[in-house]
Every structure is written in structure tokens, then in C-alpha cells.
Amino acid sequence: MVHCANMQLYHVPIGPPPPITGFRGCTRLRFVCFICCHFTALLDVDFIRRSENAVSQTLGSKNTAAMSDKVILHYFNGRGKMESVRWLLTVAEVEFDEYYLTTREQYLKLLNDGSLLFQQVPLVEMDGMKLVQTKAILHYIAEKYNLFGKDIKERAMINMYSEGLIDLMEMMMMLPFTADPKPKLDNIQSKAKERYLPVFEKALTGPVYLVGGKLSLADVLLVECTLMLEEKFPAILKDYPNLKSFQGRMIQIPAISRFLQPGSKRKPQPDEGYVKTVMEVFNITAPLSL
């Protein structure tokens, strides 16, 4: 069924293809091969799905939904704003596939398809929706998989903690894009020590989890955040024994333990290649001043 010889497993197109006029309801669609820029002939959707699934890594999740129900992530092959989504899906034990943005053309295709509500990634295809905006995605997953508290007051606490953690992680996210990262790094360290870590250290005096005695979105973000911090500042948790214990407990959760093994869907720290790809895809020419 493959039209183009270049259309192999490792360059299947990203994004939903345009439906073919006159084939409304048909499961066969046409694609563009990004290697040779040729349109394919009609392609069987199931074949494409299988190919895509073969491309993306798998983690051995317990989710047994049909291929067509699978969660699909569209983002760079790097952490960025998608990494927390990967963490949350992992903890919820939801299987997902990933399409990596590697060229501006792929991004433009997503735009032209109307897949990106506000022209931005992350994009997560899930339950028939094209979810964008990181926090909207996280909240949907958290609510669906009972990681968002038992009532609105617990949810408010989870939200407060989560927003703080995302603020801190977003500062770290911007580091590789800054021309002079040293002052930013110092600022992150002092903010972490003065503003954020003491809050969580105190909250975890006694309780196993941050809110309501039950695992939530906030816990997932906290373990992700502490690990990110330790990558930059290896001894940063030494004055926060509760946080270190919490981290120790969390990384023993089987799904997290697997996620932390080499070869999982967890992404490494951003390197020059990642930065270059992001800048090219978004057509950014100068270092960000943020």
C-alpha cells in the first residue's frame, strides 16, 4: 500500500492527514512523504497506524486499548513542555505513541491541518480530541485517571502545587535557549531553595503524598521537578529530607521505575541538536532573551 519507496517506517508522516474529497467516512487517506515530497496514493489507515506504532517507542504499559484509541503525542524528540505529559501518562499507565517534529514542514502541516488550536505544540490526540495547551492536557489526563483529588478543595491544592512546580520547571526549560544561562541557572537555584523546595518539604512532613493521602498530578510533577533539579544541582535536596524520601518512594512505583530506565520514553536533558531543531521548526533566529 506504500506509494513512495522512501515512505518507510522511520519517516511516516506526522499529523492527521487531510480527508479525501468524495471519500467521506472512508478509512483510507492520502499522505505526503516528507522525504521525497510526493503525495502517496490512498493509504489504508490501519496500515499507517501500525507503521506509526512501530516507529514510536513503547514502554510495556498495561493499557490494552485498540490501536485507534491510542494516545498520540506530537512534539519534539525532547523534554520541553511535553515531558510532564509523558510523566503523567506513564504514571496513569496509559500507552502512548509519539510523532517527533523534526522539520518546519511537519509543523506547517500540523498548522494547515488545523490540528493546532493556537498554532502551538504540545498536541495530544486522545479520546477523539486534539488537545493543546500543556495544562489543559495535564488536567484532562489527571481528571480522567483519578489523579486530581476527590473534591474541589483538594483540586485547588493540587492546582496550586502544580502551578508552582510548572513555573519552576519552565524556568529550567528555557535554559538551553538562553544566550547566557549562568545567571538564569543561579536564579533557578536560589528560587528553588527559597521559594519552592521549602513549601514541599513542609507539606511532606508526615503525609506520603502532597494532597489528600493519595497520588495526584502534583506528586508526579514534584518527582519530575526534583529529578530535573538534581541534574543541575546534584546536592540540592540535601537539606530537604522529606523531599528526598518522597522522591525515593515515588521512583519505586513500578511505572516510574520503568520510565527511569534507559530506553524508556523519558527524554534526556536538552542538547544542541534539540535546541537546533526547535529553533528551525519555529523559525527562531536569535537566542531568546527570557
**List of residues contacting a copy of itself (CB under 8 A):** 117-119, 127, 129, 131-133, 135-136, 139-140, 143-144, 152-153, 155-157, 159-160, 162-164, 167, 194-196, 199, 289-290
Nearer to a copy of itself, 161 or 274 (CB): 161
CB of 64 to a copy of itself, least distance (A): 21
Q: Based on CB atoms, which residue is closest to a copy of itself, 40 or 134? A: 134
Minimal distance, residue 112 CB to a copy of itself, in Å: 14
- As measured in angstroms, the least distance from the Cβ of 178 to a copy of itself is 11
In sequence order, the 6+-apart residues with CB closer than 8 A to the CB of 106 are: 13, 14, 15, 34, 281
What is the C-alpha to C-alpha distance for residues 266 and 222, in angstroms, rounded to an integer? 16
Q: Which residue has the cell 533539579?
A: 229
CB nearer a copy of itself, residue 13 or residue 164: 164
Q: What is the CA radius of gyration of the chain?
A: 20
Name residue 183's amino acid. P
The answer to whether the CB of 13 falls within 8 A of the CB of 109 is yes
Q: Which is it for strands 43-44 and 28-29: parallel, antiparallel or unpaired?
A: antiparallel
* Least gap, CB of 194 to a copy of itself (angstroms): 8
**134 vs 247, beta carbon nearer a copy of itself:** 134
Taking the complex as a whole, the smallest distance from the CB of residue 49 to a copy of itself amounts, in Å, to 22
Closest CB to a copy of itself among residues 48, 131: 131
Amino acid making up residue 119:
Q
Q: How far apart are CA 60 and CA 266, in angstroms?
A: 14
